[in-house]
């Protein structure tokens, strides 16, 4: 096929007409030569343009063949009818193919009636009809194969486009995930560090030991923030020391989080009901981030003396999370619906089929509550 494509189609289609004209010139006597050459040219030369206008070429060849039959001249150039029929079948639909085959078959009948020897009509008729059928079937097969290849190519293009779209969606989802992680990590740790810094400044003269402990806590919080940021960005190696000091946050790390919030000025009571060993690591990370964001909001938007309570209920198919505080009933500022703050928390909960509810309590304070479903659908959504 590669060698065939090197030859221009017009050159290849000119070979058969040239051979037929050469055959007429070398075999016919001089007296019959002009008529034979004219009829051969009328039959064969249109084949040069058969790819550009298959139906027009077929009509021209049929007309020339009919004139040849009227002139009662037998020519090898009648093979041009089969080539024209094949081309028409390869480029037209079923109805056009059947019509072209019927026209050529009518020509076969006329030729056999006029030129078959006495009593020998069936043999040439069957032979010529078989040629007509063969040319038609070949043309239909070529058309079918071309349509199949076009369909395969279109499907491949659609698949490539679908894969490109999926890749873009994956990139967008990964960016959104990194954005949520960065917001939670930076907001929480900076809030804790600011609160600890204020406490250290206030205690540096009255209680140097407390100021020193607060500064050490600030240093540890900063290291943990850097480790969490590098892990979220995918640049933390497993053999780094910080990977062991700060594992992927989960339910087991909520106690450390509560201690950290207490050191920053928000006494936090943690209660975990049920075993969390069977909870997937991604779900535990979601629980940790939800509690972290809720406590960070409480630390930022409530006065000193506020206390918080965290309740985590683990069961076989779900994890319930509830964070409450006893701060004053005041509207809490929330980020715009761009993946940060409460909108980001709702996205995390929705990934596990949960609906996050946040609002003031009747007797004062604020509550954030949701339940994560640990079925296959929820895990797949993450």
Q: For residues 146 and 191, what is the distance between their CA atoms, to the nearest angstrom?
A: 67
Q: For residues 188 and 292, what is the distance between their CA atoms, to the nearest angstrom?
A: 7
- Residue 344: is its pLDDT beyond 50? yes
Helical H segments across 29-121, by residue range:
33-44, 54-71, 79-91, 94-115
The average pLDDT across 126-133 equals 92
Number of C-beta neighbours around residue 106 at 10 A: 12
* CA nearest to 4, candidates 57, 13, 137: 13
Sorted by sequence, the CB contacts under 8 Å of residue 304 that are 6+ apart come out as: 265
Supply the pTM of this predicted model. Answer: 0.50
Report pLDDT for 68: 87
Helical H segments across the chain, by residue range:
2-6, 9-13, 15-27, 33-44, 54-71, 79-91, 94-115, 122-203, 208-232, 241-245, 254-263, 281-301, 341-350, 376-381
Number of C-beta neighbours around residue 319 at 10 A: 25
Report yes or no: 112 and 129 within 8 Å, Cβ to Cβ: no
Provide the pLDDT confidence category of residue 168 given band limits of 50, 70 and 90: confident
| pLDDT tens string 41-92 | 888 888 888 888 889 999 999 999 999 888 888 888 888 899 999 999 999 8
Provide the pLDDT confidence category of residue 313 given band limits of 50, 70 and 90: very high
- Residue 371: is its pLDDT beyond 70? yes
Structure tokens at 349: 């909960």
- Residue 190: is its pLDDT beyond 90? no
Q: For residues 103 and 136, what is the distance between their CA atoms, to the nearest angstrom?
A: 12
Report pLDDT for 381: 40
Report yes or no: 244 and 223 within 8 Å, Cβ to Cβ: no
3-state secondary structure of 35: helix
Q: What is the dihedral of CA 23, 25, 30, 32, to 10 degrees?
A: 60
Q: Which region among 147-151, 156-160, 331-335 has the lowest average model confidence (pLDDT)?
A: 331-335
């Amino acid at each position: 096929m590669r060698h065939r494509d090197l030859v221009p189609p017009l050159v290849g289609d000119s070979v058969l007409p040239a051979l037929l004209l050469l055959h007429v010139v070398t075999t016919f006597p001089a007296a019959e030569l002009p008529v034979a050459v004219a009829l051969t040219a009328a039959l064969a030369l249109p084949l040069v343009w058969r790819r550009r206008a298959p139906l027009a070429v077929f009509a021209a060849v049929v007309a020339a063949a009919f004139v040849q039959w009227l002139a009662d001249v037998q020519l090898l150039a009648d093979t041009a009818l089969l080539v024209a029929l094949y081309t028409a079948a390869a480029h037209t639909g079923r109805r056009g193919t059947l019509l072209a085959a019927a026209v050529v078959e009518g020509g076969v009948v006329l030729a056999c009636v006029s030129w078959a020897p006495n009593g020998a009509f069936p043999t040439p008729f069957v032979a010529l009809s078989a040629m007509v059928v063969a040319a038609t079937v070949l043309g239909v097969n070529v058309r079918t194969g071309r349509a199949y290849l076009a369909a395969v190519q279109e499907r491949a293009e659609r698949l490539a486009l679908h894969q490109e779209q999926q890749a873009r969606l994956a990139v967008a989802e990964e960016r959104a995930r990194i954005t949520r992680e960065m917001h939670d990590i930076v907001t929480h740790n900076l809030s804790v560090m600011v609160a600890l810094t204020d406490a250290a400044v206030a205690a540096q003269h009255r209680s140097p030991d407390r100021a020193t402990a607060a500064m050490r806590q600030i240093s540890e919080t900063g290291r943990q923030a850097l480790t969490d940021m590098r892990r979220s960005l995918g640049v933390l190696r497993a053999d780094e020391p910080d990977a062991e000091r700060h594992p992927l946050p989960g339910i087991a790390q909520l106690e450390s989080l509560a201690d950290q919030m207490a050191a920053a000025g928000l006494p936090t009571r943690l209660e975990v009901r049920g075993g969390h060993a069977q909870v997937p690591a991604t779900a535990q990370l979601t629980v940790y981030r939800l509690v972290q964001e809720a406590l960070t909001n409480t630390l930022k938007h409530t006065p000193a003396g506020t206390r918080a309570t965290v309740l985590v209920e683990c069961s076989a198919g779900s994890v319930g999370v509830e964070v409450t505080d006893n701060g004053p009933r005041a509207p809490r500022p929330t980020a715009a619906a761009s993946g940060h703050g409460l909108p980001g928390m709702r996205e995390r909960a929705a990934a596990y089929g949960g609906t996050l509810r946040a609002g003031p309590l009747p007797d004062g304070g604020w509550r954030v509550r949701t339940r994560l479903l640990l079925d296959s659908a929820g895990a797949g959504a993450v």
